[in-house]
Structure 1
Amino acid sequence: FLEHPVCRECSTKRRPQSLADEGDKVLYFHVLILSYLDACGDPPRFETMRLQHAPKPNYSPGETIHYKCRLGFRPMAPPLPTSAVCQDDNTWSPLQEACTRKLCPNLGDPVNGQVNYVNGSTMFGSQAHYVCNEGFYMIGSRILYCEISGNNVIWDDNPPLCERVLCATPRNITNGRITNYKDEYEYNEIVTYSCNPSDGPDEYSLVGESVLVCVDSDRWSSDSPQCKVVKCEYPVVEHGKMVSGFRKKFYYKSQVAFECNQGFYLHGSNTIVCGANSTWEPKIPMCTKEPTTATTKPLTSSASGFIKSCLYISISFKFLVIFHTPLNVW
């Protein structure tokens, strides 16, 4: 078949145009790649400073970028360079940190206390820890932080105060009194409690601490004691006897000790004390014929056999010694 002359002309005209389009595309991408390769990458990042303007995808040789200090930082003194240049080898010119942390105001020690800086300075990000002297308590924040405020840095709170520790008079007690009564007590001062004489047949016992110490603002070393009659029953142990602590009446903290009669075993503690609730602590022991786990147990068959063997050997050895000993020795 013969190709139509019109079609032949069309085909000869379109082919060079298509090839030209493909060539333009290849050239375009080639130029694009070369232009991308002939550029600097992302600008370097720093802790204390940032770019003045938004970063671009790439930078051509000769372009300059400028930095400024981040919030909470200030330029160093003497000042250091804050700009970098995209060099011909597609690298950025050397640049180092040019900013330093801003300083919060110096706080100074409070009256009757001290302030300690965690990192030894008042720079942005540091902490100030307060401690009051002994005998003083703190009003306010114990820890302050150096933080950003606008374009500056300040402490996040006011310094605390150290006030003298004072205690109010502790409460009075029924059937008792405070021997050194005052309206106010300073740190480490003490109050002493004592019980009044009893109008009845039994005396009052002071249950609790007799001496209280002012240890913190309105806080004593313990609760106030009580004055009350504490009387325990006469302790009797069947098949046993009291060996110490003899008396007619047993009041608070009276202590007695027991032992069992011969042939009996003690169950419980041999020493008991009269407690605050008029009961013996621990409870009164017992003496029984049954031994406790702490006493010697009956011998087992194996142990009995072992002892019998030892006796047999001992007797045999003595017999041999006697049999072989010359008469002149005796």
Structure 2
Amino acid sequence: MTRSCEPRRAPPRAPASPLSSSWCFVGITLVTLVLQFPTSFGDCGKPPEFQSMKLKGTPKPSYSPGERIHYECNPGHYYSYFYSLTTVCEQNSTWRPTDEACYRKECPAPKVPNGEVYEQYEPQTGFQFDKNAYFYCNYGYYLKGEPVITCKLSGDTVYWGSAIPTCEKILCEAPGEIANGKHTNDWRVEFEFNEVVSYTCDPSNGPQEYSLVGERKLTCSGPGKWSSDPPQCKVVLCEPPVLKYGKPLSEMKEKFFYKDEVAFECLKGFYLNGSNPVFCGGNSTWEPEMPTCIKGFKPTHPTKPPVSRYPGYPKPLESPPIEEIFELDPGIIALIILTILVGIAVICTCVYKCLRRGTKGVN
């Protein structure tokens, strides 16, 4: 038998079944979807925590995507409709949204006629609980009550911890009447802030006129408060002052009246210690205390502290008077003069010797 030389052909394959092709497509699709899922599929973890709201119910250790949890506002807070009280576990295992949805409640803004109320540190945010309100009054008014009050929380209710203060008008009752004198507008029983009254003395029926001792003008400076006590109208006479080892520089009279001044100087060999000048005070005595004349030379530096309180003592940047510089001890002055004379003698001797040597050299 003769073998054919043609190549051997494989038998034809049977056509693929449509059903098997569909299953392959479904398998590939499922694998793709599984690869796209996160490794922590179905676990959002613990619910988020907030300052203004708390979770309703008991939390679970984990949540699946699509699960929702609900919150409610804490006491003293109110819900804002711009945000949600519900949070959802997303497919990527995160919670959305995570915004605070509640705000602190506020005490009603105080209204103070003739005054102002301020918030400290965070203006224009309202008077939430635990925040303070600060009160100030307009010019001519004073604050009656606490200057600072706090918005407090009790349960779910907010309230002011103290009564809201008021701004009252500053008024003064008429100042006191004085003997032998009067003040302006004495017919009025009430004065407003910064109003002024002036006092004058009546004519005297005796040989001496009255002196106004004290402040002539009084100002209403606070509620029921004048700037000083009313003055007095009385006869003030001081005897001519006498200073031992000294003499007056001012004109001397038989009698001195209120606020008359007298200045002094000490005799040669004495220096003045104390206030200078002095004046006739309201009690018919010389004020301040009369100075004294002390034998010797005035010390260059005061020895009684505090020197800054001495009348006329120079300030730290000022130079002492020229007379104080030269008021030295006689022994020191003599030593200085002797030193100068010896120096002049030495210089003259040297000059003489030099001139004499020059003359001999010429000869």
Measured after TM superposition, the shift of residue 211 of structure 1 is 0.6
The SS at the match of 1:250 is coil
Q: Gapped runs of 5+ residues in structure 1?
A: 1-37
Q: Distance in 2 between matches of 1:49 and 1:241?
A: 91
Is the contact made by 1:84 and 1:95 (CA closer than 8 Å) also made in structure 2?
A: no
Is the contact made by 1:245 and 1:257 (CA closer than 8 Å) also made in structure 2?
A: no
Question: Residues 16-35 of structure 1 correspond to what in structure 2 (within 5 A)?
Answer: none
Task: Indicate how the Cα distance of structure 1 residues 46 and 179 shifts in structure 2: closer, same or farther if over 3 A, else same.
Answer: same
In percent, how many aligned pairs have the same letter? 41
Q: Report the AA paired with residue 296 of structure 2.
A: E
Measured after TM superposition, the shift of residue 164 of structure 1 is 2.4
Q: Distance in 2 between matches of 1:241 and 1:173?
A: 39
Measured after TM superposition, the shift of residue 243 of structure 1 is 0.7
Q: Which residue of 1 aligns with 2:182?
A: 177
Task: Indicate how the Cα distance of structure 1 residues 86 and 188 shifts in structure 2: closer, same or farther if over 3 A, else same.
Answer: same
Task: Indicate how the Cα distance of structure 1 residues 239 and 104 shifts in structure 2: closer, same or farther if over 3 A, else same.
Answer: closer
Q: How many residues align structurally?
A: 284
Measured after TM superposition, the shift of residue 176 of structure 1 is 1.7
Q: Gapped runs of 5+ residues in structure 2?
A: 1-42, 301-323
Larger CA deviation: 292-301 vs 260-269: 292-301
Task: Indicate how the Cα distance of structure 1 residues 44 and 308 shifts in structure 2: closer, same or farther if over 3 A, else same.
Answer: farther
Question: Residues 301-320 of structure 1 correspond to what in structure 2 (within 5 A)?
Answer: 308-320=338-350
Measured after TM superposition, the shift of residue 156 of structure 1 is 4.2
Task: Indicate how the Cα distance of structure 1 residues 147 and 291 shifts in structure 2: closer, same or farther if over 3 A, else same.
Answer: same
Question: Residues 142-153 of structure 1 correspond to what in structure 2 (within 5 A)?
Answer: 142-148=147-153, 151-153=156-158
Task: Indicate how the Cα distance of structure 1 residues 92 and 291 shifts in structure 2: closer, same or farther if over 3 A, else same.
Answer: same
2:273 corresponds, among 262, 267, 270, to: 267
Quick check: 1:76 aligned with 2:55?
no
Measured after TM superposition, the shift of residue 312 of structure 1 is 1.2
Measured after TM superposition, the shift of residue 242 of structure 1 is 0.9
Task: Indicate how the Cα distance of structure 1 residues 84 and 248 shifts in structure 2: closer, same or farther if over 3 A, else same.
Answer: farther
Q: Distance in 2 between matches of 1:65 and 1:78?
A: 18
Is the contact made by 2:297 and 2:329 (CA closer than 8 Å) also made in structure 1?
A: no
Q: Distance in 1 between matches of 2:331 and 2:79?
A: 92
The SS at the match of 2:263 is strand
Q: Distance in 1 between matches of 2:96 and 2:331?
A: 95
Deviation string, structure 1 residues 196-236 (Cα, Å, up to 9, x no partner): 23333443222221111112222211111222333333101
Measured after TM superposition, the shift of residue 66 of structure 1 is 4.4
Q: Which residue of 1 aligns with 2:296?
A: 290
Task: Indicate how the Cα distance of structure 1 residues 309 and 166 shifts in structure 2: closer, same or farther if over 3 A, else same.
Answer: closer
Q: Distance in 2 between matches of 1:286 and 1:162?
A: 56
Is the contact made by 2:76 and 2:156 (CA closer than 8 Å) also made in structure 1?
A: yes
Q: Which residue of 1 aligns with 2:123?
A: 120
Deviation string, structure 1 residues 272-291 (Cα, Å, up to 9, x no partner): 12223332223222334333
Bigger radius of gyration, 1 or 2?
Answer: 2
Q: Which residue of 1 aligns with 2:236?
A: 230
The SS at the match of 1:171 is coil
Q: Which residue of 2 aligns with 1:32?
A: none
TM-score by length of 1: 0.70
Larger CA deviation: 93-102 vs 236-245: 93-102
1:243 corresponds, among 246, 249, 258, to: 249
Q: Report the AA paired with residue 214 of structure 1.
A: C
Measured after TM superposition, the shift of residue 64 of structure 1 is 7.2
Task: Indicate how the Cα distance of structure 1 residues 224 and 77 shifts in structure 2: closer, same or farther if over 3 A, else same.
Answer: same
Q: Distance in 2 between matches of 1:271 and 1:143?
A: 51
Q: Report the AA paired with residue 287 of structure 1.
A: C
2:100 corresponds, among 82, 92, 97, to: 97
Is the contact made by 1:40 and 1:86 (CA closer than 8 Å) also made in structure 2?
A: no
Q: Which residue of 1 aligns with 2:50?
A: 46
Task: Indicate how the Cα distance of structure 1 residues 111 and 39 shifts in structure 2: closer, same or farther if over 3 A, else same.
Answer: closer
Deviation string, structure 1 residues 229-279 (Cα, Å, up to 9, x no partner): 333331012332111253332222221101122333223233112223332
Measured after TM superposition, the shift of residue 48 of structure 1 is 1.8
Is the contact made by 2:240 and 2:252 (CA closer than 8 Å) also made in structure 1?
A: no
Q: Distance in 1 between matches of 2:202 and 2:344?
A: 73
Task: Indicate how the Cα distance of structure 1 residues 316 and 163 shifts in structure 2: closer, same or farther if over 3 A, else same.
Answer: same
Q: Report the AA paired with residue 214 of structure 2.
A: G
Larger CA deviation: 59-68 vs 200-209: 59-68
The CA RMSD measured in Å over matched residues stands at 3.7
Q: Distance in 1 between matches of 2:335 and 2:142?
A: 75
Q: Distance in 1 between matches of 2:218 and 2:175?
A: 9
Question: Residues 159-238 of structure 1 correspond to what in structure 2 (within 5 A)?
Answer: 159-181=164-186, 182-238=188-244
Is the contact made by 1:66 and 1:84 (CA closer than 8 Å) also made in structure 2?
A: no
Q: Distance in 1 between matches of 2:150 and 2:189?
A: 40
The SS at the match of 1:129 is strand
Task: Indicate how the Cα distance of structure 1 residues 322 and 271 shifts in structure 2: closer, same or farther if over 3 A, else same.
Answer: farther
